[in-house]
Each structure stands twice: as structure tokens, then as C-alpha cells.
Structure 1
């Protein structure tokens, strides 16, 4: 007879078995790194434990996310969902999602958010997918030169604190975007945007005016985040032009601009892309907790709604 399965929050004694599960399920080292550096992570990590071994896990992270009405919602971000191969198909993850939902409700979360490549796992738990759209195409054929008064450079060590205010202003009214705190800029952003991800900073007459984060692979560049000062929307064209020039220098033929349909972004896009087409990201899923379904739907369907990769869970 097999040992019974216990469903409960994680304790410090579970960490070695939990991390072994995640090392088996995920290739990215940041999963255990971020979890280990979150002081409140254990009570928000729900486990299925059998014979002192963690066989399945679901982690919940509280996040402050902008809604469609101009306010900010407390949201339960689901992450690090994993199950050992021999324990799959037994309903463990569904049970853990129920427990995580109860913790979110007690904590006052309005709704829950997750990103996944296997949406079918979550449909029976009440999660519904949504779609983000963004452009891609060939890099601009004739990249613009750097205008007078501007400089663009890739710092060896990014001063994220210097850029935080631009991000906050650029996304102040963007539904689905996360309101980052100091801990996010100190921990999560540097982890998600660590090298080989590249960050460019644009300065106008020596003052920071915008930044851009990109990822390069052979033949392809993906722009994954931008932000500019409200009084310097022209920084977008400067940054886009710098990416297009680098693409030309390295014979890169494909560019994905994983960016929102922001009017300033759209206006500057010719500096980055030629003949753009629309791509979709269907990995996001949401579920109401205290909010109504209509409230949640308005957020994910709002014009310009977007969730930046550094805010993934």
C-alpha cells in the first residue's frame, strides 16, 4: 500500500525536497533563487507530500497590478507549478490550486494570474486564457543615426534604481502592468534581465531619458521592455534606431517587439521594424477571486494592457 499524500503549506524542512522537484521540472536557476530570497515564500508554497517527499508544488506570490479603472488590485500570482512524473494525473495540482486560492482569498486578492504553456492543466480550476498582441518583422532597413544631443550606451552594470522612475511613469495607466517596488528592482528585475539580456540607456544631454531591454539569438532580436520619460517620447525612436543599427551590423533579419500598443510605441515603431505583422502570446490565464469576472476581463482586454517579462512569476 502506498503512503498517503498530505496537502499543506511548505516548511523549512521541505526545502531540499522542494528544490529537487523544481530542479527536475525547470531549467532556469532563478526559480529556486527567487523563492529562497522571498522571506514570506514558505506559507505561500502549497505542497503535496508523500513519504516525506514533495511530489507536487504550487507557489503563490502577491502582486500589485493596475486595473482597467485606473486603480491597483492585489493579485495572486501562481508560479513554479510542478509535479513529479510518477505523480501526475492524480489531481494533486488541482487540489493545490484550490488551497492556493483559499490563501489568496484570505489575503484579500482580487484575482489570480499565471503564465503557462499547458493551459489545459488550469481550465478545470477556473482559469481562463487571454491574449497579448505585439508586432514583429524585419529590422528597419535604413536605421536612423543618433540625433544630436543624444547618446545610447549599454552599461556594464545597469543602475536599475536610476531607471525605476521612468518605468513607473511610462506604465502609470497601463492595465495588467505590475507596480514594482524597491525589492523588485533590487532582486527580480536584475534576475530576469541578467546577461546575456542587454540593456540600452538613452541620455539626452547627459540625463537619462529612456531604456530598452533586448534578447539576441542568431538571426533574431527580441525587444522585451522599454520605458521613457513622459517628456521625452522621442527616446523611443532613438532606442529603436540603436537596435536596428545593431541588427544590421550583425546581419539579424528578424525582430520581435514584445511591446504594448502604446501610442508612443506605435509612432516610433518605424525606427525599429519594416512591414510589421501581429504576433500573439496566449500563455496568460486569469481567475477571479474576490473580483467579478467582468472586472478581470476588462483588465486583460483593455487597449494597451501589457505584462512585462521581468514581472513574470
Structure 2
């Protein structure tokens, strides 16, 4: 993966370390001299279906083939092996993120494209005045004594029945998130903002994960306690204020679920510039279990409150 995609070896090593079964879940095509020609990896997660019930999902890491070994059938054979493994593991369905070149192969084996909804806008006026009801500040779970626990508690309350979301248990936060999200914090400038009742209150009321670029900011994920309707506005306002402090244009791209408090906060901040769309052609899924239908899969992605978070991508 490092050679083909140009990622650092350290980043790839951290990525694989976040899967406790990385060796069992990795397949390779090897030349006679031992050179790895093509490789595929998958990991198992539990994502909620349209009813909120957890389903076992096989998340396939893109098949990667060396340039001089392509069009020789390696990727096809590896994908067939992975499908057999997903069936043996008892997966209900499978998810992957495809490159443009790889999409035809996945379509041939039953994966279909689903959109990734987003909302965009530019803040033209002044930021909303804070009421003082919440204290919002950057929160680093890698250095805080409470670790991921405050974020995990909000996530459970916010996403308990939300379609398409990953069931993020304690092992997820202390293993996967600590390695993967921790890498984004260290190398990509991801900032987690958390809302509290007061400066000394250890109980988080909400969180948001944001990235800042030269020309815009992006919000990857958000969560708030259901009874705290004012938290999304406080979080998003704090992110916009940080963008302004950095001298970044107040143009935002948000991958957030549809919830009345979130919708109201976005309307308040972005006003008439707010518009919605989706990324197409990359997110793909297919049923695996014989008793799991295309209709059930469609229902997950089209549920009004469904949310696909990029932080869960392997």
C-alpha cells in the first residue's frame, strides 16, 4: 500500500495495527521470487441497519496491485477469496471505498455505489454570540486523563439507533480510534472540539471532529447528548471561530447527519449559502448473507437519519 499509493510506511503500519486480526484478514498474490504483486485486506465491524440493529459488515480495503502486475487476474482472485471469507465470517453485507479504476471490478462482483451526503456553505456575517451555557474547547483524548471515555459516552447516546453507524464499543475507542484517529490528530491536524457545562466539568455534552485547510474547514463527525439541543450550534460556532483565527475563509463542508438541532445550527450559521449534495462513485456496498436483501441494504443508506462517518473508514 505504501509503494502504490505513496503513503508513509509508518502511517500504513498504524492503520493495520488497528485491526487485531490484520494477518488473518489479509490476502496477497506473490511472485515466484516472493515479491508481493497484489494485496487485499478486510476488517469486520458492526453497523446498524435501518431498524438500528447491529449487523456484521465486512469492510474491504481496496485491492492494490503493483503497476507492472496489473491486468493479470490477481485482483479478481483476491476479491473472490475475500468474498468467501466474508461468508465464512457470517457477514450480512460488505462495504468498500473504490477508486475510479477499481470500480468496474467491484461492480462486476455485485457492489453498488451509494452517495455520501454533505452540506456546504459560507458564513457571510458575524458568528452567533455564545450564550455562555457551554464551554467548548479542543479536546485531545491522547493526552487527557479521561481518554476517549467522554467522547464514547456521547457517541453511544447520539448514535444508539442511527442507521449505517458503527457500533463503537470500548475496544473501538481504545484500539481502533486511538491508532487511526490519533494518527489524524498527529499528522493531518484533526482537532476534536468538545462541549462541557463548565470549565471544570469532566462530562462532555457533545463533540465534533474538524480539519482546517487553506481555503476551507471540514467537519467529519459530530455527536451531542439528545437533551442538549444547543450543543451543535456551540460546537460548529467554535469550529468556525477557530477557522477565522487561523485566517481561513469561513467556507465549510460538513458530513453530518440530519437532526433538527444540527439542521438548525447549520441554517443559523450559513443562511442562504447552505446547500446539500453528495459524493458519488466511491462508497460501494453489496449483500453477503443469503438472507440479507438488496432492499434491506438500500433501506440503510436511504434512512433519513443515516450517517456514514469518515472516521470509521479503515
**Higher mean displacement: 188-197 or 40-49:** 188-197
After the TM superposition, list the runs of 4 or more consecutive aligned residues in structure 1 that deviate by more than 4 angstroms: none
Are 1:211 and 2:191 counterparts?
Answer: no
Residues 127-206 of structure 1: matches in 2 within 5 Å?
A: 127-139=111-123, 141-156=125-140, 157=143, 159-190=147-178, 191-192=180-181, 193-195=184-186, 196-205=189-198, 206=201
1:42 aligned counterpart, secondary structure = coil
Alignment partner, residue 13 of structure 1: none
Runs of 5+ consecutive residues of structure 1 not aligned to the other structure = 1-20
- State the Cα distance separating 1:154 from its structure 2 match: 1.0
Paired residue total: 293
Alignment partner, residue 276 of structure 2: 278
Distance 2:156 2:274 in 1: 27
Runs of 5+ consecutive residues of structure 2 not aligned to the other structure = none
**Higher mean displacement: 152-161 or 82-91:** 152-161
Distance 2:79 2:50 in 1: 26
Distance 1:80 1:116, change over 3 A: closer
Alignment partner, residue 297 of structure 1: 298
| Contact 2:27/2:39 (<8 A) preserved | yes
The correspondence for 1:113, drawn from 77, 95, 99, is 95
| Contact 2:4/2:64 (<8 A) preserved | no
- State the Cα distance separating 1:72 from its structure 2 match: 0.9
Q: TM-score, normalised by structure 2?
A: 0.87
| Contact 2:208/2:219 (<8 A) preserved | yes
Query: Can you list the C-alpha shifts for 1:159-206, whole angstroms capped at 9, x where unaligned?
Result: 322210111211112111111122221233242342411111111133
Alignment partner, residue 38 of structure 2: 56
RMSD: 1.8
- Which of the pair is proportionally richer in strand? 1
